Amino acid sequence: MSHSLPQLPYEMNALEPHISANTLSFHYGKHHQAYVTNLNTLLAGHKLESASLEEVIIASAGKADMVGIFNNAAQVWNHTFYWNCMKPNSGGEPSASFKAKIEAAFGGWDKFLAEFKQAAVTQFGSGWAWLVQDSDGSLKLLKTGNADLPMAHGMTALLTCDVWEHAYYLDFQNRRPDYVDTFLTHLVNWDFVESHLR
Ligand code: MN3
């Protein structure tokens, strides 16, 4: 099967004034598209050519001869997940039951926000910050470098924030902490996040 760029779940300007249409036009239209194009090129004639995206990610994770396939497949998945982790006119909180789970796991809602921000800001270089559910059901924070993602470590992704510079540089320049604050305060789609709880 050939992989394709999923439709953005909102208009290109829908996240303004927080994330501009200019950022999304490059981030979705150029970067995400390039990962899809590169993946299809790398998989042409490959034994994983007809595998699903998740199957490609799991089969290539940690394999020295499939680094390029893993990086592009994981970035295709990560970006689709990231777009869906946001919605226009957000900025609320999760459902009472999900919020209670987060408060129990992290010692309070504000403590969770602070720890998520800390993970996102301290990921050195390019990568991702995540709220995940581990195999024992517990909620944890994770930061990963480059394309790495929770499913390669047996964890379920609930929420992610892209901290590659291409995600925020046009709108926030070097101010990654302001981008992460804005993401948490105005953009997270908590219904989507909660829908991945097992
Ligand atoms: Mn990105």
C-alpha of residue 104 to centroid of ligand 1, in Å: 31
> Quick one: pLDDT at residue 79?
98
SS3 127: strand
**Running DSSP on this structure, what letter comes out for residue 1?**
-
C-alpha of residue 35 to centroid of ligand 1, in Å: 10
C-alpha of residue 181 to centroid of ligand 1, in Å: 17
Task: Please tell us whether the domain made up of 96-194 is placed in CATH 3.40.50.720.
Answer: no
pLDDT above 90 as % of the chain? 97
Prediction pTM value? 0.97
Domain ranges of the chain: 21-84, 96-194
pLDDT above 70 as % of the chain? 99
Mean pLDDT of the chain: 97
Equal fold, 21-84 vs 96-194: no
Average pLDDT of span 129-145: 97
Residue 1: band (very low, low, confident or very high) from pLDDT cuts 50, 70, 90: low
Q: For ligand 1, a single-atom ion, which residues have Cβ within 5 Å? A: 162, 164, 167
Are the C-beta atoms of residues 33 and 41 closer than 8 Å to each other? no
Task: Please tell us whether the domain made up of 21-84 is placed in CATH 1.10.10.10.
Answer: no
Q: Measured between alpha carbons, how far is 4 from 169 in angstroms, rounded to an integer?
A: 26
